[in-house]
Amino acid sequence: MKPQTEKFKELARENMSDGTQRAMLKLFPPLLKQLRDASFQDLGEEAAMEKGRRIREDAVRDLPYLLERFEDEVTKAGAKVVWARDGKEANDFILSLAKEKGCRICVKGKSMVSEEISLREALVESGIETYETDLGEFIIQLAERPPFHIVGPAINMTVKEVSDLFHEKIGSPETEDANELGGYARQFLRDKFQNADLGITGVNIAVAETGSIFLVENEGNIRYSTSGPKVHVALMGIEKVVATFTDAVHMLKLLTRSCMGMAITKYVSVINGPRKKGENDGPEELYIVILDNGRSRIYADEMLRSSLQCIKCGLCSGVCPIYATVGGYTYGWVYSGPIGAVLNPLLLGLDRARDLYHATTLCGACNRYCPAGVDLRGILLDLRAKEMTGNKTFGAKRPSLFHRLFIRFWSWALLSTFLYNMGSIAARVLTAPFVRGGKLLWMPGFSGWMKARDLPRFAPKTFHRLFAQMNEQR
C-alpha cells in the first residue's frame, strides 16, 4: 500500500466533507463501544484488562526468548519458521515458495501486516491470482481502497456502493440486501477456495510454549484458507507472541470483546503444524513468516516499546474523537486511529507522517480502553520530542529554526519571573489595538481558532498582579 501520510491535512478536509462517512462515524463507534462495555460484564473488566496489560507487557519484554522458543516448538510440530528482516524479504520468500510449489491461485485471510508489506500486490504482479476472502477486505480489494478501520476495512461503505461495485467487478445483480451481497461474494469465492493451492493468513496470537497460532474470524474464510490449499503461509510481526497457551486464551477473550463486543467470534482456529498422518484436512506444508520491518528498532527504545503490545483490536479508533471526525483514510496508510498515529510514523519515518502525532488532543481515551496496555498518549508525546531533537533512528526532521526559536523564547519566559511578567505586559500592549468588546480580533497563529471561536482578550491584569496588589492593600 502506497503511503499518503504526508497528505493528512488534505485528506482530513476531504473526508470530513463526506456526509455519508460523517453520519456513519457518528453511529458505529458509539455502538461498538456499547457492545464492548456490555461484553466485558461477565469478565470483570478491571481485573481482566490489568491481566491483559501484564501478559502483553511481559511478552514484549521477553520477546527475544519467546520468539526462539516459538520457533523450536513450531519446528517440532513439523512447520517451518522463516525470518524476514523487512517486507521485501518476506515477499521474496513467499513468491519464490509459490513458484517452487507451482501455486497459481492464492486465497488470503485478513492480515494487516500483509497490507503493510503490500504482499497481495506483489503476488498479483508475479502472476498469481490472489483473492482477499474476508468480506470487508474483498470489497476494498475490488474497490482498490485502503482499509478504513483495522478490523472493519469497508465499514464505511454503504450497501448501494458495494452493490454497484460487485455489479461492475464480479457481475452480480444489483440489490439492496446486504445478506444477498454477502452471498454473491461467497459464490464468487467458493470456486477460488476449491482451486487455490496457496493459503495466506495473518496471525492473531502466537504461543511460545506450544508453537500454536490463533486465528480469529467470523466468516469461516480463514478456516477454509488454512485447510483447503496444500501450502499455508502465516505471516506475523515479531510482536505477536505470548508466553503460554493460557495467556493466549486470555488475550483472545480481550480481543473479541474489544474488537466486536463479542464474548467469542464464530471461528477460532488454533493451528499446530501442518496436516499430520491420519488427519483429514490441513495443508501439506505450513510456513510461519516472522517479520521485523522496523519492529526491533521500536523494541530497542523503551519509550516506544509498549506500541508492540498492540493486539490490533481497533478499539482505540472506536473511542478516539479524532478518528470519529476524520475517519480512517485520513491516516494515509495501513493503520488508522491512535495506533495508526503511532505505528505509521514509526514504520514509515517520522518526517513522512508528522501530522499524525500532532493531530491529537491527547485526551487519553485510547489508553483508557486499550486491552494490551499500549501507552499511546505517552508515545504520541515522545514522537513530538523525537521530532524536536531530529531523531535519526526514526527518520525525524527537526522543526524549522523559526519554530525552534519561538519555543526557546517561550521556555526562557517560563524560567524567569521577570521575563514572564515582561511577557505579560508585552502581550497586553501588542494586542491592545485588536481588542473589541472583551475579545481579541487578531492574534498571531490564532486565525483558525477564531474562525469558529472567540478568544477573550488578556485580562487587564494578571492574577499575579492582582494578588500582589491585594496583599499590599492589606
Partner 1 sequence: MKGVALFVPCLIDQFLPEIGFAVVKVLQKLGVEFTYDQRQTCCGQPLVNAGDSAGARRVAKRFISIFEKSDYIVAPSGSCIHTVKEQYLRLLADDPKWYQRAEKVSERAYEFTQFLVQVLGVEEVGYRYEGKACYHESCSILRQLGISDEPKQLLNNVAGLEMNPLKDADICCGFGGEFAINYPYISEEIVREKVKNFQDADADILVLGEPGCLLNIRGYLTRHGMSGQVRHIAEILAGQEGVQA
What's the closest the beta carbon of residue 424 comes to partner 1, in angstroms? Answer: 7
Longest Cα–Cα distance of the chain, Å, equals 96
Pairing of strands 198-201, 213-217: unpaired
Could you say whether residue 408 binds partner 1 (CB under 8 A)?
yes
CB of 29: closest distance to partner 1 in angstroms? 11
Report whether 154 contacts 130 (CB < 8 A). Answer: no
Q: How far is the CB of 226 from partner 1 (least distance, A)?
A: 40
Site for partner 1 in 419-448 (CB under 8 A): 420, 424, 427, 439, 445-446, 448
Distance, CA of 37 to CA of 318 (rounded, Å)? 12
In this complex, which beta carbon is closest to partner 1, that of residue 101 or of residue 465?
465
CB of 302 to partner 1, least distance (A): 10
Q: Specify whether the CB–CB gap between 196 and 107 falls below 8 A.
A: yes
Distance, in Å, from the CA atom of 339 to the CA atom of 337, rounded to the nearest integer, reads 6
With binding defined as CB under 8 A, does residue 249 bind partner 1?
A: no
**Based on CB atoms, which residue is closest to partner 1, 82 or 443?**
443
DSSP structural state of residue 81 = E
CA dihedral in degrees (266, 267, 268, 274; nearest 10)? Answer: 180
Of residues 124, 159, 413, 441, which one binds partner 1 by CB under 8 A? Answer: 413
**Window 288-347: residues binding partner 1 (CB under 8 A):** 321-322, 325-326
Backbone φ and ψ for 331, nearest 5 degrees, come out as -75, -10
Q: How far is the CB of 434 from partner 1 (least distance, A)?
A: 15
Write the CA distances from 183 to 178, 186, 294, 408, integer angstroms. 9, 5, 40, 62
Nearer to partner 1, 93 or 420 (CB): 420
Among residue numbers 12 through 51, which ones bind partner 1 (CB under 8 A)? 12-13, 16
Grid cell at residue 107: 486465497
Q: Which amino acid is at 324?
A: A
Q: Which residues pair with residue 73 across a beta bridge?
A: none
**Lookup result for grid cell 517560563:** 414
Q: Which stretch binds partner 1 (CB under 8 A): 86-94, 125-133, 139-147, 414-422?
A: 414-422
Among 20, 442, 468, 469, the residue binding partner 1 under the rule CB under 8 A is: 468
The C-alpha cell at 360 is: 491529537
Binding of partner 1 at residue 410 (CB under 8 A)? Answer: yes
Can you tell me the distance from the alpha carbon of 424 to that of 430, in angstroms, rounded to the nearest whole number?
A: 10
The window from 103-111, 122-130, 257-265, 464-472 that contacts partner 1 (CB under 8 A) reads: 464-472
R_g (Cα) of the chain, nearest Å: 26
- Our CB check for partner 1 shows the closer of 272 and 367 to be 367
Nearest to 255 by CA among 28, 19, 36, 6: 36
As measured in angstroms, the least distance from the Cβ of 415 to partner 1 is 6
AA identity, residue 411: S
Rule CB under 8 A: say whether 262 interacts with partner 1.
Answer: no
Closest CB to partner 1 among residues 165, 326: 326
Q: How far apart are CA 21 and CA 156, in angstroms?
A: 6
Residue ranges in 346-405 that form contacts with partner 1 under rule CB under 8 A:
358-365, 367-368, 378, 381, 383-389
| In the complex, least distance from residue 313 CB atom to partner 1, rounded to whole angstroms | 19
Determine contact, residues 127/99, Cβ cutoff 8 Å. no
Name which of 220 and 399 has its Cβ closer to partner 1.
Answer: 399
**3-state class (DSSP) for residue 456:** strand
Task: Looking at residues 179 to 198 of the shown chain, list those that interact with partner 1 (rule: CB under 8 A).
Answer: none
Binding-residue total with partner 1 (CB under 8 A): 59
> Of the candidates 361, 345, 365, which has an alpha carbon nearest to the alpha carbon of residue 353?
345
Least distance from C-beta 455 to partner 1, angstroms? 6
Choose between 178 and 426: whose C-beta lies nearer to partner 1: 426
411 binding partner 1? (CB under 8 A) = yes
Q: Which of 19, 278, 433, 456 binds partner 1 (CB under 8 A)?
A: 456
How many angstroms separate the first and last alpha carbons of the chain? Answer: 70
Q: Which of 451, 472, 473, 474 binds partner 1 (CB under 8 A)?
A: 451
Q: Which residues of 280-292 are buried (b: 16+ CB within 10 A; e: fewer)?
A: eebbebbbbbbbb
Residues that bind partner 1 (CB under 8 A): 9, 12-13, 16, 321-322, 325-326, 358-365, 367-368, 378, 381, 383-389, 407-408, 410-411, 413-417, 420, 424, 427, 439, 445-446, 448-449, 451-456, 458-459, 461-464, 466-468
